[in-house]
C-alpha cells in the first residue's frame, strides 16, 4: 500500500538540512519538505487541447540564529549543495535585527498523531494506479461539448473542459523534536462554456467539482452545468440602485466570510490593521452567525492535524452566535503580544446552518432562503472588489438574478454591493445547510437584509 | 592568430554552464520532444534567486532567500499543447519530461527528427542593470528600509505602524526551440512596498504604495525612499474625511497613472489573442474596425527601459517589442504568442509569457497604456457638472466574454460644477469594456506610467504595469450608498 510520495530518502534529506543548520550555528530550525505531482488533460471544443504533467519537490527552511529569524527555500536538493546553501542562509540570518519573540512552537502544543500523513484519510489509494490512459478517459467522459446543442435563444461558442488530479505530500520537522506529515490527493473537473445570443452578445458560465476521492468526483454534470449557467445569464437587465435583500449562492459565499477570518489573524491585529481588534469575547455579529473550525473531520477537504508550525489543530468555535471566540495567534504573535497562542490560521471553517428556517429536519436550501426573503437579488458570482482591512468597508461587483416571491425573475447586470462587514454580518437573516462538500471552506448559501446595491 | 572577443558566445557559455547542458544536449531534447510527431517544441531553462527583507515594528526582523531551478518542455501539434517540466537538468530527467510533453502529438511510433541549424538572435537590453542583486549583501539594504520608515514617521504624526518590504530577484533564462533559436536573458527585478497605518481621533486608515523596476540594486536610493514616504502619507487628510458617494451611473474622470487599470481590465485582456482565437472575447471578429474615439491609441509595450513589464525576449524567445492594440481608434492588433500568431496568420508580438518554467506560455500583457491626447487635464475636470474623479485603485477583474469589468477605487473626489469636491473612498466601479472604451470622450496630455507592483493573474501570475493620461468616461456604474 502506498502512503504518499515522500520516501525515506527524502526524509533523510530533510534531516540533512536540519543537521547542517544546527551544525553551522542555528539555535533552532524548522524544515518542511514538500512533494507534489499534478496531471491535467484539457479539452477545447471537444478536442484534446493540452496535456500537462508537473512534479515538484522543494524544501522550506526556517532558521533561528542568535535571536534572529530567516526563511529560505530551494528545489536544488543535491546533497553536495546543502551545506553551502545553509551556510549562506545562516550568514544572511545573522545580518537581520534581533527579535527574541521568534521561536519554535512549544513541543507540548504540537501534533503527535500525524506520523504517516494518512491519519485523516485524505489520500485515495486509487490515485497510484492511474495512468495517462485512465486520465484521458476520465477527461473525455466529462467533456460535454459534443452533446451541447444550439437552441433558438443561444449558440454555443466554446467549451473549455479540464480534468486534473494531484497528490501533495508534506513532511515537517523541527529541532524541538516535532515530526509530522500530511498527504492529500485531489481530483477535479472544471468547465467554462461561452454562448452567444441572437445579437452576438456573449455570456460565459463556469462550474467545477473536486474531491480527495476519485469515486466521489462528479464528472458527468460539469459541462452541462456550465452551459446552463452561461445560458441563464442571457438578457440581463439593469436594476435601480437601492437596498435589497441579498441571497448569496453557496458556490461563492466564502468571499464574504474571508475578510472576517483575515481580520481575526493576530498579525493584522498587532499591526492595527483589523476591524475586529477589540472583538474577542464580544458579540459583534448577528447571533445567527456561528463559525466552527472543523480542522480534524475525517476525509474532508481542508482537514489537517497540524498547522504550518506543527501546532496541533482541533475543532473549535471561532464565532459563536455572533460572539468572537478566538483569534488566530501563532507562536510569534503570542510572544509579541502576550495573547495566548492558538493556531496560525483557520483550516476548515464551517458556517453553521441557521435553525430558524429548519423544518422537518431538512437542510435549509437556497430556495428556502429566497422564499424567506421573498424579494431581492440572488448573487451567484463576484466580479472584483475589495474589503478595507482596517475599517471593514467593502465594495464588490456582483453577478446574479433578481427574485420575486422567492422565484428568479431575470439576470441582473453591472451591479455593485457596498457596505461594512460588521453591518453586513449583523444583517444576516439565515445561513443555509447546503455548503458544497467539495470545498475546504464549508460556507452555505446566505441571506442578508437590506444591502446597498448600486447599478 | 588573434581571436576576436565573442561576447555572445561567452554569454551562451555562462548559461549552458548554469544549467549544465551543451548545445547538442538541447538538440537531443528537442528531437525527443518531437519524436511522436509534434510540429514544434521549445525548452525553457530557468534559474531564479529571490531575496526578501521585511521591516516590522521598527526593525528588519525577517528575511531570506529562495532558489528555483528547472526546465519546462513544450510540444505543439497544431494549436494543441503538451507540457512537462523537470526540476533537475540531468539528461535522464529532462528526457522523461520531453517524452511526456511529446504525448500530445499522439503518434505511437518514434519519428526521426532532422537536425536543426542553431541560430542566436541578438538580444536588446531594456533593463540596463548596473549592479547585480546577487553581488550585494542583504546587510546593505537594511539602512534603506529603516530610512524609509523614519521618513514616513517624520512626515506625519498620525502614523502608528509601518510595514516595509524589499524583494528582489534575478532570473537566468535560456530558451531553445526546434527552429534552432537559442536565446538567453538575465532578468532583474526589484520591488519595494510599504504599508502605513494611521490613527486620527480613534479612526484607523491604511495606505500602501510600491515601486517595481527591472533594474539592479542601483534602484535602492534615498530618492526612492523619499518618494515612497511622501506618497505613503499624501492624501491622508482626505482619506480620513472621505465617504462614499451615492451610487449610480455617472461620468468618471480617471486620473493619470494608475487609472491605466481600466485599459488592462476593460480592454487589454479582451485583446489577448487566445481568447479571440477561441472566439470567447468580446473583441473577436472586430479586427480593423473602429472601436473608439480616433484620438485614442492603446499600446502594450515590452520595451520601456527598466519597466516591470518589459522583457528583452518574451518566454518563447521572441524579441521584446511595442504593439499598438488600438491606433487612432481602430483595433490594430491582438496580443499574440506563437500559437495564436500562427492561427491568425500573423507574427508573434512578444506577448508569450509565463510565471516560471512550471507553466506554458500564453498571451499576456506587459506595460499597457494609452498615448497622450490633446486635452488639458484641468479642462477635462472642468467639463464635468456632476461625477467623480478617481486616482487610486486595486483589485481589477474582467469577464472576457461579456466584457464586464470592475475595479476597486481606494481614493478619489466628487466633481461638482467642474470642481473637485468632497473626497471619496472604498467604492467599486463596474462597466463594460467595449462600451467604456467607446465612452471615452476626452483624453488628456499627461500620460503617466504607474510603476507600482502590478501583478496580473490569468491562471499564472505575470509582472505588468499600466498607464494612462487623464481621461473622461461618459458614464460608468459607481458603487456607493443607496441613497434615500
- Concatenating the DSSP letter of every residue in A371-427 gives HHH-SEEEEEEEEEEEE-TTT-EEEEEEEEEEEETTEEEEEEEEEEEEEEHHHHHHT
Asked if B176 and B98 count as a contact pair (C-beta separation under 8 A), the reply is: no
For position B2, what pLDDT does the model report? Answer: 39
Q: B475: exposed, middle or buried (C-beta count within 10 Å: 0-12, 13-18, 19+)?
A: middle
| A residues 256-285 closer than 8 Å to B (CB) | 271-273
Q: Is B118 helix (H, G, I), strand (E, B) or coil?
A: coil
Q: Which among A49, A56, A271 is the nearest to B80, CB-wise?
A: A49
Q: Which residues of chain B have pLDDT under 70?
A: 1-10, 107-111, 481-484
Centre a 10 Å sphere on the Cβ of residue B20 and count the other Cβ atoms it contains.
12
Beta strands in A212-263 (DSSP E): 242-248
Q: Which among B406, B425, B480 is the nearest to A397, CB-wise?
A: B406
For cell 490633446, what's the residue?
B374
Is B402 part of the contact surface with chain A (CB cutoff 8 Å)?
A: yes
For cell 460535454, what's the residue?
A144
Interface test with B, best of A55, A60, A392 (most B CBs within 10 A): A55
For cell 479539452, what's the residue?
A43
- Which grid coordinates are listed for A61? 527552511
For position B396, what pLDDT does the model report? Answer: 74
Distance, CA of B428 to CA of B411 (rounded, Å): 11
**Binary contact (A418, B137; C-beta < 8 A):** no
For position B262, what pLDDT does the model report? Answer: 84
Q: Is A434 helix (H, G, I), strand (E, B) or coil?
A: coil
Q: A337: exposed, middle or buried (C-beta count within 10 Å: 0-12, 13-18, 19+)?
A: middle
Q: Which among A52, A57, A69 is the nearest to B84, CB-wise?
A: A52
Distance, CA of A155 to CA of B162 (rounded, Å): 54
CA–CA–CA angle A414, A415, A418 (5° rounding): 145
| A residues 75-114 closer than 8 Å to B (CB) | 75-76, 85, 88-89, 92-93, 95-99, 102
pLDDT surpasses 70 at A71: yes
Q: What are phi and psi of B361, to 5 degrees?
A: -70, 145
Q: Which among A53, A386, A399 is the nearest to B84, CB-wise?
A: A53
Residue whose C-alpha is closest to residue B44's, from B354, B463, B398: B354
| B residues 34-73 closer than 8 Å to A (CB) | 53, 56, 59-70
Q: B449: exposed, middle or buried (C-beta count within 10 Å: 0-12, 13-18, 19+)?
A: buried
Asked if B286 and B426 count as a contact pair (C-beta separation under 8 A), the reply is: no
Distance, CA of B68 to CA of B96 (rounded, Å): 20
| DSSP strand pairing (B367-370 vs B386-398) | unpaired
For position A355, what pLDDT does the model report? Answer: 87
Inter-CA distances, A399 with A80, A178, A236, A386, B184, Å: 55, 47, 10, 16, 45
Beta strands in B23-78 (DSSP E): 40-56, 59-77
Distance, CA of B421 to CA of B440 (rounded, Å): 22
- Which grid coordinates are listed for B238? 482626505
CA atoms within 13 A on the CB side of A416: 35
Distance, CA of A387 to CA of B180 (rounded, Å): 50
- Which grid coordinates are listed for A56? 515538484
For position B4, what pLDDT does the model report? Answer: 42
CA atoms within 13 A on the CB side of B228: 34
Average confidence score pLDDT of chain A: 95
Q: Which residues of A touch B61 (CB under 8 A)?
A: 68-69, 96-99, 102
Distance, CA of A367 to CA of B61 (rounded, Å): 52
Q: Which residues of B touch A157 (CB under 8 A)?
A: 278-280, 401
Distance, CA of A384 to CA of A393 (rounded, Å): 15
For position A2, what pLDDT does the model report? Answer: 59
For helices B142-155 and B222-233, what crossing angle results, to 10°?
40
For cell 541560430, what's the residue?
B119
Distance, CA of A85 to CA of A429 (rounded, Å): 55
- Which grid coordinates are listed for B356? 516560471
Task: Find the helix or strand (DSSP H, E) in which A335 lies.
Answer: helix A331-337
Asked if A383 and A398 count as a contact pair (C-beta separation under 8 A), the reply is: yes
- Which grid coordinates are listed for B181? 533559436
Distance, CA of B357 to CA of B374 (rounded, Å): 44
CA A321 vs. chain centroid, Å, equals 23
Asked if B297 and B374 count as a contact pair (C-beta separation under 8 A), the reply is: no
For position B7, what pLDDT does the model report? Answer: 53
Q: What is the DSSP letter of A353?
A: P
- Which grid coordinates are listed for A173? 520537522
For cell 507592483, what's the residue?
B453
Q: Mind listing the pLDDT tens digit for each residue in A33-62?
A: 999 999 999 999 999 999 999 999 999 999
Mean pLDDT of A349-377: 93
Helix/strand/coil (H, E, C) string of B178-211?
A: CCCEEEEEEEEEEEEEEEEEEEECCEEEEEEEEE
pLDDT surpasses 70 at A25: yes
**Binary contact (A384, B206; C-beta < 8 A):** no
**Binary contact (A74, B67; C-beta < 8 A):** yes
CA A269 vs. chain centroid, Å, equals 22
What letters, b where the CB count within 10 A reaches 16 and e where it falls short, cover A134-163? ebbebbeebbbbeebeeeeebebbbbbbbb
What is the number of H-type helices and E-type strands within chain A?
9, 16
Asked if B366 and B464 count as a contact pair (C-beta separation under 8 A), the reply is: yes
For position B110, what pLDDT does the model report? Answer: 65
Is A67 part of the contact surface with chain B (CB cutoff 8 Å)?
A: no
Q: Is B276 helix (H, G, I), strand (E, B) or coil?
A: helix
Interface test with B, best of A241, A246, A258 (most B CBs within 10 A): A241
Q: In the structure, what pLDDT confidence band is assigned to residue A22 with cuts at 50, 70 and 90?
A: very high
Interface test with A, best of B69, B169, B202, B247 (most A CBs within 10 A): B247
Q: Where do the H-state alpha helices sit in B242-333?
A: 261-262, 269-271, 273-277
With the CA atoms of A78, A82, A88 and A91 taken in that order, what torsion angle do they form, in degrees rounded to the nearest 10? 170
Q: In the structure, what pLDDT confidence band is assigned to residue A385 with cuts at 50, 70 and 90?
A: confident
For cell 506625519, what's the residue?
B156
Residue whose C-alpha is closest to residue B162's, from B225, B237, B241, B235: B225
CA atoms within 13 A on the CB side of A30: 23
Those residues with Cβ within 8 angstroms of residue A200's Cβ, 6 or more apart along the chain or in another chain: none
pLDDT surpasses 50 at A319: yes
Residue whose C-alpha is closest to residue A217's, from A244, A188, A248: A188
pLDDT surpasses 70 at A110: yes
Residue whose C-alpha is closest to residue B83's, from B102, B67, B59, B70: B102
Q: Which residues of A touch B479 (CB under 8 A)?
A: 395, 397, 416-418, 454
Q: Is A435 helix (H, G, I), strand (E, B) or coil?
A: coil
Q: What is the DSSP letter of A127?
A: G
Q: Which residues of A touch B83 (CB under 8 A)?
A: 50-53
Residue whose C-alpha is closest to residue B214's, from B350, B138, B310: B310
For position B5, what pLDDT does the model report? Answer: 43
Distance, CA of B371 to CA of A192 (rounded, Å): 35
Q: Is A440 helix (H, G, I), strand (E, B) or coil?
A: coil
Beta strands in B122-181 (DSSP E): 159-177
Q: The pTM is what?
A: 0.93
CA distance A59 to chain B (A): 10
Residue whose C-alpha is closest to residue B169's, from B199, B214, B211: B214
Inter-CA distances, A245 with A177, A285, A376, A451, Å: 53, 18, 4, 6
Nearest chain B alpha carbon to A73 = B66
For position B109, what pLDDT does the model report? Answer: 66
DSSP letters of A274-322?
A: -TTTT-BTSB-S-TT--EEEETT-TT-TT--SB-TT-BBP-EEEEEETT
Amino acid at each position: 500500500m502506498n502512503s504518499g510520495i515522500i520516501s525515506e530518502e527524502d526524509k533523510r534529506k530533510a534531516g540533512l538540512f536540519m543537521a547542517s543548520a544546527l551544525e553551522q550555528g542555528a539555535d533552532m530550525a524548522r524544515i518542511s519538505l514538500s512533494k507534489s505531482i499534478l496531471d491535467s488533460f484539457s479539452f477545447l471544443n471537444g478536442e484534446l487541447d493540452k496535456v500537462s504533467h508537473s512534479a515538484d519537490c522543494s524544501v522550506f527552511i526556517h532558521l533561528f540564529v542568535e535571536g534572529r529569524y530567516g526563511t529560505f527555500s530551494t528545489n536544488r536538493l543535491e546533497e553536495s549543495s546543502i551545506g553551502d546553501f545553509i551556510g549562506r542562509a545562516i550568514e544572511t540570518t545573522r545580518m537581520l535585527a534581533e527579535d527574541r519573540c521568534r521561536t519554535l512552537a512549544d513541543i507540548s502544543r504540537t501534533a503527535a498523531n500525524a506520523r504517516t500523513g494518512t491519519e485523516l484519510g485524505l489520500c485515495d489509494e486509487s490515485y497510484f494506479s492511474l495512468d495517462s490512459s485512465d486520465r484521458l478517459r476520465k477527461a473525455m467522459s466529462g467533456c460535454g461539448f459534443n452533446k451541447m446543442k444550439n437552441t433558438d435563444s443561444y449558440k454555443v461558442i466554446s467549451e473549455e473542459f479540464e480534468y486534473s488530479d494531484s497528490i501533495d505530500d508534506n513532511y515537517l520537522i523541527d529541532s524541538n523534536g516535532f515530526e509530522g506529515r500530511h498527504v492529500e490527493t485531489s481530483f477535479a473537473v472544471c468547465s467554462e462554456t461561452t454562448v452567444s445570443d441572437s445579437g452576438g452578445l456573449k455570456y460565459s458560465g463556469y462550474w467545477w467539482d473536486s474531491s480527495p476521492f476519485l469515486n466521489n468526483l462528479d464528472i458527468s454534470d460539469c459541462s452541462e452545468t456550465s452551459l446552463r449557467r452561461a445560458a441563464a445569464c442571457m438578457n440581463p437587465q439593469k436594476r435601480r440602485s437601492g437596498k435589497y435583500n441579498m441571497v448569496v449562492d453557496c458556490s461563492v459565499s466564502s468571499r464574504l466570510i474571508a475578510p472576517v477570518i483575515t481580520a481575526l489573524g493576530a498579525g493584522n491585529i498587532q499591526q492595527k490593521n483589523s476591524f475586529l481588534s477589540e472583538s474577542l469575547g464580544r458579540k459583534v455579529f448577528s447571533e445567527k452567525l456561528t463559525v466552527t473550525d472543523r480542522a480534524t473531520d475525517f476525509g474532508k477537504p481542508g482537514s489537517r492535524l497540524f498547522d504550518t508550525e506543527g501546532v496541533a489543530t482541533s475543532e473549535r468555535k471561532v464565532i459563536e452566535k455572533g460572539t468572537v471566540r478566538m483569534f488566530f495567534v501563532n507562536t510569534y504573535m503570542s510572544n509579541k503580544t502576550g495573547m495566548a497562542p492558538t493556531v496560525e490560521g483557520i483550516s476548515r471553517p464551517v458556517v453553521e446552518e441557521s435553525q430558524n428556517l429548519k423544518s422537518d429536519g431538512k437542510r435549509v436550501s437556497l430556495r428556502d432562503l429566497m422564499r424567506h426573503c421573498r424579494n431581492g437579488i440572488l448573487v451567484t458570482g463576484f466580479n472584483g472588489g475589495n474589503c478595507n482591512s482596517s475599517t471593514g468597508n467593502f465594495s464588490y461587483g456582483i453577478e446574479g438574478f433578481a427574485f420575486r416571491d422567492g422565484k428568479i425573475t431575470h439576470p441582473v447586470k453591472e451591479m455593485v454591493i457596498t457596505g461594512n462587514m460588521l453591518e453586513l454580518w449583523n444583517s444576516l437573516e439565515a445561513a443555509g445547510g447546503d455548503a458544497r462538500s467539495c470545498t475546504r471552506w464549508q460556507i452555505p448559501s446566505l441571506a442578508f437584509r437590506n444591502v446597498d446595491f448600486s447599478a | 592568430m588573434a581571436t576576436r572577443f565573442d561576447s555572445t558566445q561567452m554569454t551562451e557559455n555562462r548559461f549552458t554552464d548554469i544549467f549544465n547542458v551543451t548545445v547538442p544536449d538541447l538538440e537531443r531534447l528537442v528531437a525527443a520532444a518531437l519524436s511522436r510527431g509534434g510540429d514544434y517544441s521549445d525548452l525553457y531553462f530557468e534559474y531564479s534567486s529571490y531575496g526578501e527583507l521585511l521591516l516590522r515594528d521598527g526593525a528588519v526582523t525577517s528575511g531570506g532567500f529562495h532558489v528555483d531551478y528547472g526546465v519546462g518542455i513544450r510540444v505543439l501539434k497544431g494549436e494543441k499543447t503538451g507540457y512537462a517540466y523537470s526540476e533537475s537538468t540531468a539528461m535522464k530527467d529532462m528526457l522523461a519530461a520531453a517524452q511526456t510533453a511529446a504525448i500530445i502529438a499522439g503518434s505511437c511510433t518514434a519519428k526521426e527528427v532532422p537536425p536543426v541549424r542553431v541560430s542566436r538572435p541578438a538580444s536588446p537590453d531594456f533593463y540596463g542593470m548596473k549592479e547585480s542583486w546577487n553581488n550585494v549583501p542583504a546587510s546593505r539594504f537594511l539602512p534603506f528600509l529603516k530610512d524609509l520608515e523614519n521618513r514616513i514617521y517624520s512626515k506625519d504624526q498620525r502614523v502608528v505602524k509601518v510595514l516595509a518590504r524589499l524583494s528582489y530577484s534575478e532570473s537566468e533564462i535560456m530558451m531553445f526551440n526546434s527552429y534552432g533559436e537559442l536565446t538567453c536573458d538575465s532578468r532583474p527585478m526589484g520591488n519595494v512596498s510599504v504599508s502605513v497605518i494611521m490613527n486620527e481621533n480613534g479612526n484607523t486608515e491604511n495606505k500602501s504604495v510600491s515601486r517595481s523596476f527591472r533594474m539592479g540594486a542601483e534602484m535602492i536610493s534615498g530618492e526612492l525612499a523619499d518618494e515612497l514616504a511622501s506618497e505613503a502619507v499624501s492624501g491622508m487628510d482626505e482619506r480620513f474625511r472621505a465617504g462614499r458617494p451615492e451610487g449610480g451611473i455617472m461620468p468618471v474622470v480617471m486620473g493619470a497613472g494608475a487609472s491605466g487599470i481600466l485599459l488592462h481590465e476593460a480592454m487589454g485582456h479582451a485583446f489577448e489573442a487566445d481568447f479571440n482565437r477561441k472566439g470567447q472575447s468580446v473583441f473577436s471578429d472586430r479586427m480593423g474596425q473602429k472601436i473608439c474615439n480616433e484620438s485614442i491609441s492603446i499600446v502594450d509595450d515590452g520595451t520601456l527601459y527598466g519597466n516591470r513589464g518589459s522583457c528583452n525576449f518574451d518566454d518563447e524567445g521572441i524579441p521584446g517589442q511595442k504593439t499598438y492594440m488600438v491606433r487612432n481608434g481602430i483595433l490594430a492588433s491582438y496580443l499574440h504568442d506563437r500559437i495564436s500568431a500562427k492561427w491568425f496568420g500573423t507574427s508573434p508580438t512578444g506577448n508569450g509569457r509565463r510565471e516560471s518554467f512550471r507553466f506554458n506560455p500564453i498571451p499576456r500583457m506587459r506595460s499597457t497604456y494609452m498615448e497622450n491626447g490633446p486635452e488639458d487635464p484641468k479642462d477635462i475636470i472642468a467639463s464635468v457638472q456632476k461625477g467623480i474623479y478617481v486616482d487610486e485603485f486595486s483589485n481589477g477583474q474582467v469577464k472576457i466574454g461579456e466584457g464586464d469589468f470592475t475595479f476597486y477605487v481606494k481614493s478619489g473626489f466628487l466633481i461638482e460644477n467642474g470642481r473637485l469636491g468632497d473626497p471619496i473612498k472604498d467604492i467599486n466601479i463596474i462597466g463594460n469594456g467595449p462600451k467604456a472604451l467607446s465612452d471615452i470622450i476626452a483624453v488628456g496630455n499627461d500620460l503617466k506610467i504607474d510603476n507600482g507592483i502590478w501583478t496580473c493573474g490569468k491562471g499564472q501570475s505575470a509582472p505588468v504595469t499600466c498607464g494612462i493620461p487623464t481621461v473622461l468616461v461618459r458614464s460608468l456604474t459607481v458603487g456607493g450608498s443607496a441613497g434615500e
